């Protein structure tokens, strides 16, 4: 999970990931989420614990895959 305030920043990070950048390092460097120091790892959570937009995508992804940017009320 990498939380950024703008779509522009999200797309920039998405491009870096597609070029092979390390997800955890980018999360530590770029994410505004308090858990960023854990490399973006949110641990275990249920669908109900997250906002619907995020939950839907997170629970549809195959393990180890990265989604396109998702817009929520937080970023």
Q: Hey, where are the domains in the chain?
A: 7-60
CA pair distance 4, 10, nearest whole angstrom: 6
Which uninterrupted H or E stretch holds 60? helix 52-60
Over residues 41-57, the pLDDT tens digits come to 999 999 999 999 999 99
pTM: 0.87
CA distance to 36, 53, 73, per residue, from 23 (Å): 11, 21, 22
Count the neighbouring beta carbons within 10 Å of the beta carbon of residue 36.
19
Thinking of the domain 7-60, which architecture would CATH place it in? Roll (3.10)
**Residue % of the chain over a pLDDT of 70:** 100
How much of the chain is in helix, strand and coil states, percent to nearest 5? 50, 0, 50
With the C-alpha atoms ordered 54, 59, 65, 67, is the resulting torsion angle positive or negative? negative
């Amino acid at each position: 999970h990498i939380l950024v305030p703008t779509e522009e920043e999200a797309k920039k990070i998405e491009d870096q990931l597609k070029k092979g950048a390390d997800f955890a390092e980018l999360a530590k460097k770029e994410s505004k989420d308090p858990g960023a120091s854990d490399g973006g790892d949110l641990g275990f959570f249920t669908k109900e614990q997250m906002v619907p937009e995020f939950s839907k995508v997170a629970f549809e992804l195959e393990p180890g895959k990265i989604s396109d940017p998702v817009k929520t009320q937080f970023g």
